Structure 1
Amino acid sequence: MGLRKWRILSSRMVVDNQWCKVRQDEIELPNGKIVDDYFINIRLDVALILPITCDREIVFVRQYRHGAGEILLELPAGTFDNQIEDPQVAALRELREETGYTAKTAIPLGILYDNPVKDSNKIHLFLATDVKKLGQQELDSTEEIEVVLVPVSKVLEKIASNEINVAGTVSAIFMGLNYLNNVQSSHQN
């Protein structure tokens, strides 16, 4: 017998706020055990973009993240403006709003689960090349963001030294650099 999904017996919202939604499920495990207090964070999907300039610099944002209690260096990202916004549109919008940089297109790199144990959302990863600074930041009232350019040649050092340590950002960097290496290899053959 293979793996089976858990069966939801009942669900109720225990926190239903604009910024935080938590659902409590009563579930039955495949072995028959009942768990009556499994909590799921209901979160919107996120669009995250790896923007690389013509000068081979990655456009990062540095900002305080209260959940971690740290100032972190990460890639531009954010939730969709609404449930039907296209992930690519959201990624390009977040790039423009958080950094003032723009790109014509964003290449899909993949979709990751953020924290599949307790969270419902996914991270949609994109790569944009030849990004250009064309405007100013358009920050929300709760955002204070510093734009930081890091040469592509230095980014792996920053991951190794733990200066870049946000999971979605690290994943997008490896996936994006792998994509670019594969494109470059295919053009050389």
Structure 2
Amino acid sequence: MKHLKKWKTLNSNLVFNNPWCQIRQDEVELPNGKIINDFFINIRPDIALVFALTENQEIVFVRQYRHGVGEIFLELPAGAVEPNFESAESGAMRELTEETGYTAGNLTKIATLYDNPVKDTNKLHLFFAQNAKKSSEQVLDITEDIEVVLVPASEVMDKIAAGDICVSGSIAAIFLGLNYLRKLEQDLTL
């Protein structure tokens, strides 16, 4: 088995600092001794995603425009966690309510994943919410124009296969959420 080594950070400078975007330039020494002086890192907030399931076995999705690629996507409710003000769980509950108007009695954390560990610092916190109910109107940010879409759990894999759902974080949360749901259903039959 090969013994992998971490890179050594020799110097680090914040080269762009904006509330919505921070970029750090690192000078690193590789395990082979080579020096790279321009390895750029995106400092991004953690994201909370919610696999919310209604009593009718429908998954709560949002359809919205994403300017980075200029397309409209069907994805799970998600958003940035405010690290100084909230936990990942409370951020997930807030995002679910703000984007969809749905709430759930409780959330269960099903996984923590890294979004893009090559260049980004953030994690994805995936939550499962059972018995989600419409409880209010959406409270959207100025940049958000969101349509709430309920997809029967039995149809979601077909939507992924057809390319209708193609955002990686949502797909990971769907697979893990369906797996968690299957385990819950198995536990109920024991």
TM range (shorter): over 0.9
Counterpart of 2:55? 54
Distance 1:183 1:79 in 2: 28
Counterpart of 1:38? 39
Residue 186 (1) aligns with residue 187 (2): yes
Counterpart of 2:73? 72
Tell me, what secondary structure is at the counterpart of 1:144? coil
Tell me, what secondary structure is at the counterpart of 1:140? coil
Instruction: Please give the TM-score of this superposition, normalised by the length of structure 1.
Output: 0.97
Gaps of 5+ in 2: none
Tell me, what secondary structure is at the counterpart of 1:125? strand
Counterpart of 1:122? 123
Offset, 1:68: 1.7
Distance 1:37 1:165 in 2: 32
* Identical amino acids, percent of aligned pairs: 56
* Dislocated runs of 4+, deviation >6 Å: none
Residues 45 and 81 in structure 2, CA contact (< 8 A), matched pair in contact too = yes
Residues 45 and 82 in structure 2, CA contact (< 8 A), matched pair in contact too = no
Tell me, what secondary structure is at the counterpart of 1:176? helix
Gaps of 5+ in 1: none
Tell me, what secondary structure is at the counterpart of 2:99? helix
Tell me, what secondary structure is at the counterpart of 1:88? helix
Distance 1:12 1:94 in 2: 32
Instruction: Please give the TM-score of this superposition, normalised by the length of structure 2.
Output: 0.97
How many equivalent pairs are there? 189
Offset, 1:84: 4.5
Specify the code of the residue in structure 1 equivalent to 2:120: D
Residues 111 and 126 in structure 2, CA contact (< 8 A), matched pair in contact too = yes
Specify the code of the residue in structure 2 equivalent to 1:167: S
Counterpart of 2:163? 162
Specify the code of the residue in structure 2 equivalent to 1:147: V
Residue 87 (1) aligns with residue 88 (2): yes
Offset, 1:83: 2.8
How do 1:83-162 residues align onto structure 2 when only pairs under 5 Å count? 83-162=84-163
